[in-house]
Structure 1
Amino acid sequence: MGQGKDTKVVAPETSVDTQAANGGGKTAGNRRSFVRNVVVGSGVAAAATIAAPNISRAQTTTWRFQSTWPQTDIFHEYAQDYVNRVNAMGGGRLELQLLPAGAVVGAFQMQDAVSAGALDGGHGVSAYWYGKNKAFSLFGTCPPYGWDANQFLGWFHYGGGEALYRELVNDMLGLDLVGFLSGPMPTQPLGWFTREITSAEDMQGLKYRTVGLAADLFAEMGVAVTILPGGEIVPAIDRRLIDGAEFNNPSSDKILGFQDVAQYYMIQSFHQRMEMFEIIFNKSKFDELADEQKAILRYAAEAASADMSWKQQDRYSSDLIALEEAGVNVRETPESVLQAQLAAWDTVIENLSADPFFKKVVDSQKAWTERIVGFYRRWDADNDMAYDHFFKS
């Protein structure tokens, strides 16, 4: 904008001043001079207007944005979907460059790197920061009150969850972060095992990978828990360092190669009934952006959230069928395990609610779930009845 902004169109004012000095007379010469100067002035202004976008493009804000996922994982694809939306809406003035886990820091170090400014932003899950404060997992792998991930996102946006999230991240922990939750995930499987799980007793003493509050849950059930990032799980099973593990979904599990190291895929579980992604940015840098750029980062998270909820329907169902066709033994988790998980949740919630903030979040979530799930249980017709009518012989 520099040259155009500093250029002053003075000809019309000069012409008017000249007319006033001459008693307001309007000679043909004055009229021609006035028109000529207006045209010239308009041309300068138009040139400045046309040049402005080019100068804006030269001032592109480009940020390094790392995921916590291996490059081949569908989760990294979801991160790319978000980046694509930001870049498309950014109009050349705001761009994110996506990097996979480990490109700058390891998966579990991503939050610290963004807060410190070593990365500008990142894509992960809140449960990965569980070691800093266990309440982080309430914004990712929260207790199964009967709700799903989309209803959780309703709580986050309309039930007070986002204010509680900021209280934890900014006020309590003093992290230089701003974050958005995005991408509703369905129930995660109990996981992959070298032998079939037929009862709650089979979990006793099992060496098992999970993250977040599920670590407390399974410890309560007598499981020996190991916390590992996604890219390290399959090698750990292959070397028999662990007996079983969960990650998230059929597409991720298939790509990561779980079927090559374990024979049994136990689906259905209450340890992580649902989850969602966390998209974070360095707050100091975020605050320096123009308002429209901040809006792009937020609204792209909402758009990517909707798209992911549709994409996963296709990919997860197709990949589960592919795993079965490849010979994987897919089994439903026994009811005794599910009941044991719910009983363990009671203990975990009670113990951790000794922390006032943890309890405040739990109470807020339960109040939302009781009302929202209660509404839909009354309002919706039974989908199982309809499905059985049309598809069960």
Structure 2
Amino acid sequence: MQHKKNSCDMVAGVEVKKAATSRRTFLKSGLAVAAGSVAAGFPMISVAAPKVIKMQTSWPSSDIWMDFARQYTDRVERMSGGRLKVDLLPAGAVVKAFQVMDAVSDGVLDAAHTVPVYWYGKHKAASLFGTGPVFGGSATTMLAWFNAGGGKDLYRELTQDIMGLNVYGFLGFPMPAQPFGWFKTPITKASEVKGFKYRTVGLAADLMQKMGMSVAQLPGGEIVPAMERGVIDAFEFNNPSSDLRFGSPDVAKHYFLSSYHQASESFEFLFNKDFYDDLDDDMKAILEYGVESASTANTAIALDNYSKDLIEIQKKGVTVHRTSQEILDAELKAWDEIIPDLEKDPYMKKVLDSQRAWVDRVVFYELMNSPDYTLAYNHYFPGKLKL
């Protein structure tokens, strides 16, 4: 006679129900016992608090460049798994926009997001790392010079050896060439700019003075108020998005794109040397190579926003012009007059020689290799581009 299968067995005359023990149940109970043993025999290991980086920008809180800076800080925090946290502050939160280099060097700030030209007053060579003569190279060309053509070593020589600053600096985001700027009346001839009170910064100030303007060097957030008060009567900043947010269309109705005064600028990411040296090697790498990551991200949102905001500027009754060939030629001639004076300084001559050699070789390849994009654009969008 067959016995019926069931989930009970008789042990010493007592009916015992079998436990259906799964692998998951076993692992869970095993881990619980192990955890209990560890808790009973060893102290708990605490997770270190994140390293906080106090970083100030040179931009007002409303400027699109704060969004660019956040792309960097977000990437740093995510790549570090939360071990790095950046306290990102706008211009003026701790020091003024032009004072961030000193603040980082002195340890008042751990880091800054700025541009080299903002410490041009400390040494004119600062402008060679963003707003100097272009020789025909774009911002992408010159950022490549910084990273692969000797520029990084020359920057370190200037900041640490010549000036004794306690900083490290990295450059990122090759900016589109900056507009000639905002004027109340249309201008087509170089002679028409003489006498203007004009806002720009760095060696571009020397350039515009050569062209007959008087120049005020102001941070971005002070430009439109200065225009309203009559301190200046023409200006440039950098891009359509910043200009739109600053309220530039309210104070001038003629916007000139294309210029050689600042055609190859990049952001500067500054770190206090002592703070940086104290970090673990992987954190240093995250801060350095995070610049390259943000550079790509910044380029994407720049092209998206700058192009859309240029349309919004036109909707506000602003006429957008391309700077005349005569004015562009006058800018190059003004650079020709400035360069010999700059080269009286041996260090600046060394930098300019390095840049010229790089551009001579690299831009020859770039121009020979590049197809005529204007021809292609006109083919697909005929009649739209008026040069």
TM-score normalised per structure 1: 0.86
The letter for the 2-side match of 1:238 is E
1:196 to 186, 189, 199: 186
Deviations 1:225-282 (A, max 9, x none): 1101111000000111111010000000000111111121111111111211001010
Q: 1:42 Cα shift?
A: 12
Counterpart residue number, 1:327 = 317
Q: 2:218 aligns with which of 209, 216, 228?
A: 228
Using the alignment, how far apart are the partners of 2:264 and 2:184 within structure 1?
Answer: 25
Give the SS at the match of 2:320. strand
1:56-100 deviations in Å (ceiling 9; x for gaps): 3x3x21021000000010111111111111111122211111000
Relative to structure 1, the CA distance from residue 41 to residue 240 in structure 2 (aligned partners, 3 Å threshold; closer, same or farther) is closer
Contact 2:168–2:270 (Cα < 8 Å) also in 1: yes
- Number of the residue aligned with 2:343: 353
1:241 pairs with one of 223, 231, 234: 231
Q: Matched residues in 2 for 1:372 and 1:178: separation?
A: 27
Deviates more, 1:107-116 or 1:85-94: 85-94
Q: Which residue of 2 aligns with 1:147?
A: 137
1:149-228 alignment runs, 5 A limit: 149-228=139-218
Q: Does 1:281 align with 2:287?
A: no
Q: CA deviation at 1:380?
A: 2.4
The answer to whether the 8 Å contact 2:178/2:258 transfers is: yes
Instruction: In structure 1, list runs of 5 or more residues that go unmatched.
Output: 1-38
Is 2:139–2:174's contact at 8 Å kept on the other side of the alignment?
Answer: yes
Q: Secondary structure at the match of 1:170?
A: helix
* 2-structure distance, mates of 1:264, 1:388: 24
Query: 2:174, 2:133 → 1: CA distance?
Result: 15
Aligned residues: 350
In 2, the alpha carbon distance for the partners of 1:272 and 1:144 equals 8
Runs of 4+ with >2 A deviation: 39-45
Give the SS at the match of 1:55: coil
Distance 1:390 1:40 in 2: 69
Matched, 1:299 2:296: no
Inter-CA distance 51–143: structure 2 relative to 1 (3 Å threshold)? farther
Residue 47 of structure 2 corresponds to which residue in structure 1?
Answer: 55
Aligned to 2:66: 76
Cα RMSD of the aligned pairs, angstroms, is 1.9
- State, as a whole percentage, how many aligned pairs show the same letter: 50
Aligned to 1:385: 375
Tell me which residue corresponds to 1:131: 121
1:254 is matched with: 244
Offset at residue 103 of structure 1 (A): 0.3
Moved more, 376-385 or 127-136: 376-385
Q: Secondary structure at the match of 1:281?
A: strand
User: Aligned in 2, Cα 1:360/1:51: closer, same or farther, shift over 3 Å?
Assistant: farther
Q: Displacement of 1:142 after TM fit?
A: 2.1
The residue number in structure 2 matching 1:106 is 96
What is the aligned counterpart of 2:306 among 295, 307, 316? 316
> CA 1:41–1:386 in structure 2 vs 1: closer, same or farther (change >3 Å)?
closer
Structure 2 length-normalised TM = 0.87
Give 3-state SS (helix, strand or coil) of 2:365's partner: helix
What is the distance in 2 between the residues matched to 1:201 and 1:40? 85
User: What's the offset of the Cα at 1:146?
Assistant: 1.2
Instruction: Indicate the SS of the match to 2:92.
Output: coil
1:222 to partner: Cα distance: 1.1
C-alpha distance 117-337 of structure 1, shift in aligned 2 (>3 A): same
In the TM superposition, residue 51 of structure 1 has moved relative to its aligned partner by 5.9
Q: Partners in 2 of 1:51 and 1:272 — Cα distance?
A: 57
- For 1:359-384, what per-residue CA distance to the aligned partner results, in whole angstroms no more than 9, with x for missing partners? 11111111111111101211222222
Matched, 1:88 2:78: yes
Please state whether the residue corresponding to 2:47 is helix, strand or coil. helix
Quick one: distance in 1 between partners of 2:76 and 2:132?
28
Cα shift at 1:114: 0.8
